[in-house]
Copies of this chain bind each other. A is one copy, B any other.
Amino acid sequence: MDYRNLRIAILGGGNVGANVADLLIAHRGELEARVGAGLEVVGVAVRDLAAPRTPAIPAELLTTDAASLVTAADIVVELIGGIEPARTLVLSALRSGADVITANKALLATHGDELFQEAAQVGAQLHYEAAVAAAIPIIRPLRESLAGDRVRRILGIVNGSTNFILDKMDAEGWSTEEAMRVARELGYLEADPTLDVEGYDAAQKAAILASLAFHTRVPLESVHREGITGITGEVVAAAKAAGYVVKLLAIAERVGEGDLEGVVARVHPALVPRDHPLAAVHGGNNAVFVEAEFAGPLMFYGAGAGGVQTASAVLGDIVSAARRHLAGGPGVAESTSATIPILPFEAVETRYQIALEVADVPGVLAQVAGVIAGHGVSIERALQSASGGADPDPTATLVIVTHRAREAALAATVAALAGSPAVRRVASVIRVEGL
């Protein structure tokens, strides 16, 4: 076999792009030996040639002409982010015969269909290990290792910024504001934190994981999304006292049976039992917990962000793409062989923890329990704590944890409780997930 030289183009010179270029150049010999071919970085497309970068990229590699760069490469690494021009450049690269590696979750969650179809048509391969949970190998395990299994449910901590915030509130007792301030100082949060704290980033990842796990395209619009802005220090402390920790989870699962079976994807804060492996995911780390029908429960844990960490996943994809280029033949098309219906969020069964402020008088628990039972929801446990003291109009806190019930029934239950004369205030509502 003649020794081929594979040309690699990198789009984007930000934190991940600069690290990928740096590692590819610094470890070129080692990586070439693993692949059995030359791996030459032919260019790094950036917007501003003069911008400072860490690590530095050799000036002669920089170009602002991304469109030309992608048509002159065997492997194109897209690290620009956002929809355009990333989408046009990726399509152009695929059409010119390159394999494409992308870490662009927004692009995959919104235009995945178009990109995978284009790749299948030209026989190229689209790799995206870095798009979800950065350094953690989760795409390849789902796409290949579990390709013979049936995934039932995925529970992921896939946003490091919000996990950092919730973890510090739990472990250090910090307020939301304090935790967000430190997260911003440490670079975990952007100046506009909306993408992270409102759950948009996690929802994109949920759509990608769900599509992959269920061999069914799960559109981003179908992902139910709630962020962590309603999670106060009080909610976190109460959860801790009850043996739970609050996590922002991206959940994708099969629900229903037979003809009624479908897929639901959702992102929201939830209580996780402290002895669940996901409860031990601290700081900015990520983890993806997978329940498969044959394999049973599996967990994948590691760094969810960082330039070098994300570059690790990109480099793995580059090696895979290079090996495929050498072997020849078409790439493996994304499996969308199943067409499981996508169901609305209301079809999900969850458990609620509802904290109520009620009058501390006899009969209140009976009234509250009556409202809940009236919606077909059953109570797993109830804990009433009195306000104490000689309050002339004493208030008690009543914490109810329900059994599993349809989301729609639970939401209606909360609305009815809010309107019940026995209830002074619905202090908090949070879902309970776990084993």
Chain A residues packing against B (C-beta within 8 Å): 23, 27, 30-31, 33-34, 36, 129, 135-137, 140-141, 144-150, 215, 277, 280, 292, 294-303, 306, 308-309, 311-320, 323, 327-333, 335, 337-338
A149 / chain B contacts, CB cutoff of 8 Å: 312, 315-316
Once the chains bind, are A323 and B319 in contact (CB under 8 Å)? no
In the bound assembly, the distance between CA atoms of A364 and B311 in angstroms comes to: 54
B145, B294, B317: the one within 8 Å of A23 (CB): B294
A292 / chain B contacts, CB cutoff of 8 Å: 135, 312
Once the chains bind, are B335 and A295 in contact (CB under 8 Å)? no
Once the chains bind, are A302 and B312 in contact (CB under 8 Å)? no
In the bound assembly, the distance between CA atoms of A299 and B278 in angstroms comes to: 12
Once the chains bind, are A294 and B135 in contact (CB under 8 Å)? yes
Once the chains bind, are B33 and A338 in contact (CB under 8 Å)? yes
Q: Is the interface of A mostly helix, strand, loop or mixed?
A: mixed
- A280 to nearest B CB, angstroms? 6
Residue of B whose beta carbon sits closest to that of A301: B299
Give the most central of A146, A147, A295: most B CB within 10 Å: A295
Copies in the complex: 2
Once the chains bind, are A129 and B148 in contact (CB under 8 Å)? no
Once the chains bind, are A141 and B147 in contact (CB under 8 Å)? no
In the bound assembly, the distance between CA atoms of A337 and B215 in angstroms comes to: 35
Residue of B whose beta carbon sits closest to that of A39: B148
In the bound assembly, the distance between CA atoms of A328 and B36 in angstroms comes to: 19
B34, B137, B312, B331: the one within 8 Å of A294 (CB): B312
A296 / chain B contacts, CB cutoff of 8 Å: 135, 302-303, 306, 309
A315 / chain B contacts, CB cutoff of 8 Å: 147-149, 294
Once the chains bind, are A30 and B301 in contact (CB under 8 Å)? no
B135, B299, B308: the one within 8 Å of A302 (CB): B299
Q: Can you sample 16 A-B contacts with CB below 8 Å?
A: A30-B150, A34-B337, A135-B295, A135-B296, A137-B145, A144-B316, A145-B316, A147-B316, A147-B320, A277-B280, A296-B309, A298-B300, A299-B299, A299-B300, A327-B329, A329-B329
A136 / chain B contacts, CB cutoff of 8 Å: 295, 298
Once the chains bind, are B294 and A298 in contact (CB under 8 Å)? no
- A131 to nearest B CB, angstroms? 13
Known A299-B299, A327-B330: A31·B148 in contact at CB below 8 Å:
yes
Known A33-B337, A338-B30, A338-B33: A301·B302 in contact at CB below 8 Å:
no
- A269 to nearest B CB, angstroms? 23
A317 / chain B contacts, CB cutoff of 8 Å: 148
In the bound assembly, the distance between CA atoms of A23 and B150 in angstroms comes to: 11
Once the chains bind, are A34 and B147 in contact (CB under 8 Å)? yes
